[in-house]
Structure 1
């Protein structure tokens, strides 16, 4: 299975675990009037659900380990050199944060009049940088992040892991 499919499968397994936990609540308890007899047993017992839940959790742990290993061993090429996927993902996040900071600086005026500093005084806040330069820097850093994200996505669709997903897909 490809790494991209494994990531989707992890989300599917988490949803299945949530549904089984909800089912536990439905089959573990019953509300009856004081002298009402117990009804016949439900179609699935609490034990049946526990067995299924444990099997999914075991597969989830194995899948998580395989994804982590693939993220560590799969390397992508970037303008900053080769990076394992795990590092490239964090680098893309950091670049996007840097681009947001640059964009925030770019949107600030070069000169800004401030009010409220006492009677009759006027204060001007001056940017000690060129906002246009930071607009361009924001665009460049965002492009770098997008290139890395595209390389990560491509690697996710070519990297294979050994996991039998036939029970779930």
Structure 2
């Protein structure tokens, strides 16, 4: 059996998933034909059973890739900010960093104080930020940098890990 990198496995799974989406309409096309009454149906160039077999092979390979990728993402680690993270944990951490950065960006856009209209008759109401928007702008920048660094570490690690999978059917 051949080997591929974890990065190649992730890309291949995406390719195979797309291939399944292409085969499903073909499955419908080869399953039915329209004929005039009394005419014999002319089968398609590919038989229904051939398309079904292709789909099953690809689906089986997707399941195997999932298992291998998940296992590699659990078994392999990478260092980030003086801690060691399993790849799966690092992926989630990068996602969380991006979410935190987005929230900080929203707060960074806030005015320190702004008048609120339509809240009260004859009384001026203000919306006051209980934080410094500039601090949140800087925090967002740092969180985004960390997310990018972590993503780069994950990508680099994915190119060094090899898994046992023969991709010769697809490449």
TM category (shorter chain) comes to over 0.9
Tell me how far 1:77 sits from its aligned partner: 0.5
Aligned positions of 1:127-146 closer than 5 A: 127-146=129-148
Counterpart of 1:103 (choices 65, 81, 105) is 105
Deviates more, 1:16-25 or 1:145-154: 16-25
For residue 119 of structure 1, what is the aligned residue in structure 2?
121
Q: Where does residue 6 of structure 1 map in the other structure?
A: 9
Per-residue deviation at 1:80?
A: 5.0
Q: Tell whether 2:44 aligns with 1:42.
A: yes
**Alpha-carbon distance between aligned partners in 2 of 1:29 and 1:125, rounded to the nearest angstrom:** 65
Q: Where do 5+ consecutive residues of structure 2 fail to align? A: none
Structure 1: distance between partners of 2:71 and 2:162? 11
Alignment length (residue pairs): 168
Is 43-52 or 149-158 further displaced after alignment?
43-52
Q: How does 1:1-169 map to 2 (within 5 A)?
A: 1-33=4-36, 35-79=37-81, 81-169=83-171
Q: Return structure 1 stretches of 4+ with deviation > 3 angstroms.
A: none
SS across alignment from 1:77:
strand
Q: List runs of 5+ in structure 1 lacking aligned partners.
A: none
Distance 2:57 2:96 in 1: 37
TM-score (normalised: structure 1): 0.95
